[in-house]
Amino acid sequence: MSSSGNPLFTPSLAMDTGSNFVWVCCCFGCPYGFNPDRSITYAKIPSISPKCFSFTLGTFQEGPDCRFSTVYEDGMWSSGVIARDTFTLATSDSGLRKVLDVMFGCTTDTGGRTSALGGVLGMVAQSPYHLAARLSSRFSYCIGDLRDHGYAHN
């Protein structure tokens, strides 16, 4: 389980082992949308910040905000602003771990299969700004029975 914001918002994220990028739906029409106005720890990354260009996907400057646009091989796409917020992760001992100032994409426009997701969890640890790098070697995940179509987390 991962959550973002303060108060907590818990999206359903697709894990991406080939990317360093985390994004969540921030648009009002998204079925699992995160509302940044409700988080007291949310902040946009300015376009002049070096952090704006620390991702492996298309980030660009547009006005005062650092923006992104990415297209996946299966045709799904996502675009929005780069922001930072607190992420809260469940631990193996049933506790919670807060990770402060995680950079992520706040998606304002999405298409393809992404419309059924709350976002994507990029797991490549490439920069100290990225969630995977902040977790160090202390991350694990559990996959349920993929043959069980009734299991909600497959």
Looking at residue 89, what is its pLDDT?
78
Q: Which residues contact 49 (CB under 8 A, 6 or more apart)?
A: 66
Q: Would you say residue 99 lies in a domain? A: yes
Classified as helix, coil or strand, 53 is helix
Q: Would you say residue 111 lies in a domain? A: yes
pTM for the complete prediction?
0.76
Q: Is the dihedral of CA 141, 34, 127, 43 positive or negative?
A: negative
Q: What Cα–Cα distance (Å) separates residue 5 from each residue in 33, 88, 132, 143? A: 12, 8, 17, 25
Looking at residue 42, what is its pLDDT?
92
Q: Would you say residue 83 lies in a domain? A: yes
| CATH code, domain with 56 | 2.40.70.10
pLDDT digits over 109-144, tens only? Answer: 887 765 567 788 877 766 666 677 777 666 666 666
The two tokens of residue 35 are 């509302």
Residue 1 has pLDDT above 50, yes or no: no
Looking at residue 108, what is its pLDDT?
85
pLDDT digits over 19-55, tens only? Answer: 778 888 886 555 567 888 888 899 999 988 888 877 6
Q: What is the domain extent for residue 36?
A: 2-135
Give the confidence band of 5 by pLDDT, cuts at 50, 70, 90.
low
Looking at residue 56, what is its pLDDT?
57
Strand partners, 119: 13, 24
pLDDT digits over 76-118, tens only? Answer: 888 899 999 988 877 778 788 888 888 899 988 887 765 567 7
Q: Would you say residue 50 lies in a domain? A: yes
**Residue 137 burial (C-beta neighbours within 10 Å; 0-12, 13-18, 19+):** exposed
> What is the number of H-type helices and E-type strands within the chain?
1, 9
Neighbours of 76 (CB within 10 A): 18
Helix (H) or strand (E) holding 132: helix 131-135
Q: Would you say residue 13 lies in a domain? A: yes
**Could you tell me which residue, 103 or 10, shows the higher pLDDT?**
103
Q: Would you say residue 143 lies in a domain? A: no
d(CA 30, CA 110): 9
* Domain count of the fold of the chain: 1
Q: Would you say residue 145 lies in a domain? A: no
Q: Would you say residue 152 lies in a domain? A: no
Average pLDDT over residues 55-84: 80
